[in-house]
Amino acid sequence: MSPSEAFTVDPWGITEHGLDLPGQARAESVFALSNGHIGLRGNLDEGEPHGLPGTYLNGVFELRPLPYAESGYGFPESGQSVINVTNGKLIRLLVDDEPFDLRYGELRSHRRMLDFRDGILRREAEWTSPAGRTVRITSSRLVSLTQRAVCAIDYTVEAVDGPVRIVLQSELVANEQLPGGAGDGDPRAAAVLEAPLAAELRHADGLKGVLVHRTRFSGLRVAAGIDHVIDGPERTDTAAESSDDQARITATTVLHPGQKLRLVKYLAYGWSATRSLPAVRDQVEAALTAARYTGWDGLVAEQKEFLGRFWGDNDIEIEGDVELQQAVRFALFHVLQAGARSEERAIPAKGLTGPGYDGHSFWDTETFVLPVLTYCLPDAVKQALRWRHTTLPMARERAAQLGLAGAVFPWRTIRGEECSGYWPAGTAAFHIGADIAAAAVRYVRATGDTEFERTHGLELLVETARMWRSLGHHDAKGNFRIEGVTGPDEYSAVADNNVFTNLMAQSNLWNAADTALKYQHESGLLGVDTEEAAAWRDAADKMFVPYDEQLGVHPQADGFTDHQMWDFEATPPEKYPLLLHYPYFDLYRKQVVKQADLVLAMQVRGDVFTAEQKARNFAYYERLTVRDSSLSACTQAVIAAEVGQLDLAYDYTAEAALMDLHDLGGNTRDGLHMASLAGACIALVAGFGGLRDHTEQLSFRPRLPAGLQRLCFSMSVREHLLRVDITHATTTYTLRRGSVLPVLHDDEPLRIEAGKSVSRPTAKVADAGERPTQPPGRAPARRHGQAGVKIGSVDHLAAE
């Protein structure tokens, strides 16, 4: 079954009919449930068959050595990998001694459904055992968005065609055997760690079981607990047993046709690097007690209420393309899951949906995920930035190690230490510091949270500004230059004056100087004086931004437009992604772009480019960008819309949104692409909605492609809830909450008051000229046809 055929198109959910065994791992990622603290892959209840088992706790990892052919000063000595913690999803079913295994007997029907409105994964199956007995199984699974440590499963088995002896084994299992070779040689796939958990405590009694383990090298204590409510025939026996890596509660009964055995399973997880074994154990047992008190129906009601509020305030509505509507709600749902209860933990690139990238967080979070959460779940942004703030001591140590002032944040990490063993595309990407600073400034602008700005925000800005001032220098002409760094494009490493990096650093320096002036007492405690703040402002004012006068475009970095062109015509489709088939040495010295870099600079710092420059730059870089990264399509969508290439923007938006539902990169099995999912929302709101938030006042420049009839979205801004409703004829602004909010519509100042919608014509986009071309075979799939259904095949795409 092709990825695009695996799931039915439904605007409010994902449904899988039948069971595609070869596509199991992909479906497990799509059906993953999380709350930002706990992540459960969408494995079958009985555990097997599986693609890739996975239960994750945010921040729980194991250390592993980073081997180098040759050691070098400043190289990280160890890496951090997310681990598969104790699995509490397992409910094994035996029917007259025959294990319920979909590879045997006859599977009469099978359906799984994930409803975005209640966050519950439902399953229905009818199965006849090899011995000829038929049973009907239904289950529902949730990870609570309101009770952070809790998950629950409602599992029912019904006899269909005769008396049958039923045994249910509800288990906790640690150190599960994982399939090897998940990455098929792809270095981006996660490292597989075997048996990372050492047993500390095991207990099972009545209907409860608890296991406590400790990671062998990182020293993190992990506790998992289960409790149950069982409802069945009068004679239903139960038993409890445990071993170092297993706790099992067994229920046994005989069912006659029409009779049911129902088991409600409550799961709880806790972990700590510092608390004692009794403290972590007791935390889990308390969470189980609270879950049982709430009950299954209560947990479901809480989940529906939470998601009802979320969708009521934050839905993105589309008319004209039901598949894209489904995809963007899928995207919003998973972005919500990734950050809802992370609470001073990172938001990994895969969320908690799989082990891809070893569970690391990158700049993806601040540049793609947090801009979406800023306007729909701002507290999650605050928590993510507070996590960055907790890692400042490690970032300062890293800066000192590199001979720099301030703080150097890691390119990839779980706890805060640098885990990238490849300098050119890792630590050299210093722009991560400015990305974090920009996220902090955006959060404060959107929320007015001056307490955060005065404390955490100020210190983040100060330490990143100090890093830029020490990393760059003034040349003989007085220009401030930043050399030997890597921008977003990882096919162009260790370059001088990368435009994206320099412009982001410029904003960082200006914002640090302004915030230090605003909070002089607090900045004084950080050692900032007027001379240092003046030096930041001077560096920002004199920031060098290269420009190629002959071509009339901005080079991505100094000299980039002088490089030899990559021979795209001689590059066959099977050689993409290029990083897996060509040496970095060759990529670094050619004009070939992995992902939007200069184009991303035009999105985040569009205030410094003219409309003509944007159009020329976009056309130039389109023919160089191969999109060997899932981070690219959404950015190209935004700028394509801005320069008037609306159909191309539509194609890129669909690519970003369908990255995982259609498995465009072929690696959804390792987890979902959170940045691409968030990017799809950005493509719609910043692309077709034209949102720009460079200043205190939000600006909109709406325009729709021919394939969409309507786009509607809402944004939370400083206690206000603004609704923007766009059709080809008009754009209407409505304040759903709050009093008065000023905005710009196509540069016209508007004052939006409560109860008084304001409508303006949606601008007709002038002919943007010929559609830009991409490298051969790398164009996005055209999005044409009735109701937005694609015609033609999707080009091969390598997703980062």
Helix (H, G, I), strand (E, B) or coil at 326: helix
Cβ proximity of 55 and 366 under 8 Å: no
More confident residue, 177 or 294: 294
- pLDDT category at 76 given cuts 50, 70, 90 is confident
- pLDDT category at 578 given cuts 50, 70, 90 is very high
Q: What's the pLDDT score for residue 69? A: 73
For residue 112, give the H/E element and its range: strand 106-115
Cβ proximity of 533 and 509 under 8 Å: no
Q: What's the pLDDT score for residue 562? A: 97
Rounded to 10 degrees, what is the CA torsion of 138, 144, 149, 155?
Answer: -10
Average pLDDT, integer, range 393-406 = 97
For residue 210, give the H/E element and its range: strand 208-215
669 is a domain residue:
no
Pick the closest to residue 342 from 604, 674, 686, 715 (CA basis): 674
Q: Which residues contact 646 (CB under 8 A, 6 or more apart)?
A: 640, 688, 703, 704, 705, 706, 765, 768
- pLDDT category at 180 given cuts 50, 70, 90 is low
Residue 793 has pLDDT above 60, yes or no: no
From the list 176, 490, 532, 642, the catalytic residue is: 490
Average pLDDT, integer, range 513-525 = 98
More confident residue, 235 or 190: 235
Q: Give CA separation, 308 vs 217, 339, 364, 522, in Å.
A: 42, 17, 28, 40
111 is a domain residue:
yes
Per-residue H/E/C for 662-692 = CCCCCCHHHCCCHHHHHHHHHHHHHHHCCCE
Q: What's the pLDDT score for residue 188? A: 39
Paired tokens of 757: 């919608």
Q: What's the pLDDT score for residue 784? A: 66
Residue 322: exposure state from Cβ atoms within 10 A (0-12, 13-18, ≥19): middle
Cβ proximity of 593 and 492 under 8 Å: yes
- pLDDT category at 785 given cuts 50, 70, 90 is very low
User: What is the spatial order of strands in the sheet that 55-57 belongs to?
Assistant: 33-34, 38-40, 55-57
**Radius of gyration in angstroms for the set of CA atoms belonging to the chain, rounded to a whole number:** 27
**Site of tokens 């930002």:** 36
Q: Which of 145-149, 193-197, 201-205, 715-719 has the lowest mean pLDDT?
A: 193-197
The alpha helices in 595-720, defined as continuous H runs, are 598-604, 611-622, 632-642, 646-657, 674-682
21 is a domain residue:
yes
Q: Any binding-site annotation on 520? A: no
Q: How many CB atoms lie within 10 A of CB 126?
A: 17
Cβ proximity of 157 and 260 under 8 Å: yes
Q: How far apart are CA 225 and CA 15, in angstroms?
A: 30
Domain count, the chain: 1
Q: What's the pLDDT score for residue 192? A: 45
What values do phi and psi take at 791, rounded to 5?
A: -120, 130
Percent of the chain with pLDDT over 70: 96
CATH number for 175: 2.70.98.40
Q: What's the pLDDT score for residue 45? A: 98
Q: How far apart are CA 233 and CA 255, in angstroms?
A: 7
Q: What is the pLDDT of residues 675-700, one digit of tens each?
A: 999 999 999 999 999 999 999 999 99
Residue 48: exposure state from Cβ atoms within 10 A (0-12, 13-18, ≥19): middle
Q: How far apart are CA 506 and CA 438, in angstroms?
A: 11
Paired tokens of 713: 């979205």
Helix (H, G, I), strand (E, B) or coil at 757: coil
Cβ proximity of 211 and 241 under 8 Å: no
Helix (H, G, I), strand (E, B) or coil at 13: strand
200 is a domain residue:
yes
Residue 797 has pLDDT above 80, yes or no: no
Q: What's the pLDDT score for residue 766? A: 82
- No. of helices (H) and no. of strands (E), the chain: 19, 32
**Arithmetic mean of pLDDT over the chain:** 94
266 is a domain residue:
yes
Domain that holds residue 222: 3-291
Q: Any binding-site annotation on 595? A: yes
Residue 59 has pLDDT above 70, yes or no: yes
CA 330 to chain centre: 12
What values do phi and psi take at 696, rounded to 5?
A: -65, -25
Q: What is the pLDDT of residues 610-661, one digit of tens each?
A: 999 999 999 999 999 999 999 999 999 999 999 999 999 999 999 999 999 9
Residue 421 has pLDDT above 90, yes or no: no
Rounded to 10 degrees, what is the CA torsion of 559, 564, 566, 569?
Answer: 140
Q: What is the pLDDT of residues 343-380, one digit of tens each?
A: 899 999 999 999 999 999 999 999 999 999 999 999 99
Q: Any binding-site annotation on 364? A: yes
Per-residue H/E/C for 473-505 = EECCCCCEECCCECCCCCCCCCECCCHHHHHHH
pTM of the model: 0.95
Q: What's the pLDDT score for residue 508? A: 98
For residue 333, give the H/E element and its range: helix 322-339
479 is a domain residue:
no
Residue 786 has pLDDT above 60, yes or no: no
What values do phi and psi take at 106, rounded to 5?
A: -125, 120
Average pLDDT, integer, range 77-104 = 95
259 is a domain residue:
yes
Percent of the chain with pLDDT over 90: 90
Q: What count of Cα atoms within 13 Å lies in the side-chain half-sphere of residue 328?
A: 26
Q: Which residues contact 570 (CB under 8 A, 6 or more apart)?
A: none
Q: How far apart are CA 28 and CA 214, in angstroms?
A: 27
User: What is the spatial order of strands in the sheet that 197-205 belongs to?
Assistant: 8-10, 13-17, 106-115, 120-128, 134-143, 150-159, 260-272, 221-231, 208-215, 197-205
Paired tokens of 475: 């040349």
Helix (H, G, I), strand (E, B) or coil at 22: helix
114 is a domain residue:
yes
Q: How far apart are CA 375 and CA 472, in angstroms?
A: 33
Cβ proximity of 127 and 108 under 8 Å: yes
Please say if 62 is a catalytic residue: no
Strands 164-173 and 317-319: unpaired
Q: What count of Cα atoms within 13 Å lies in the side-chain half-sphere of residue 143?
A: 31
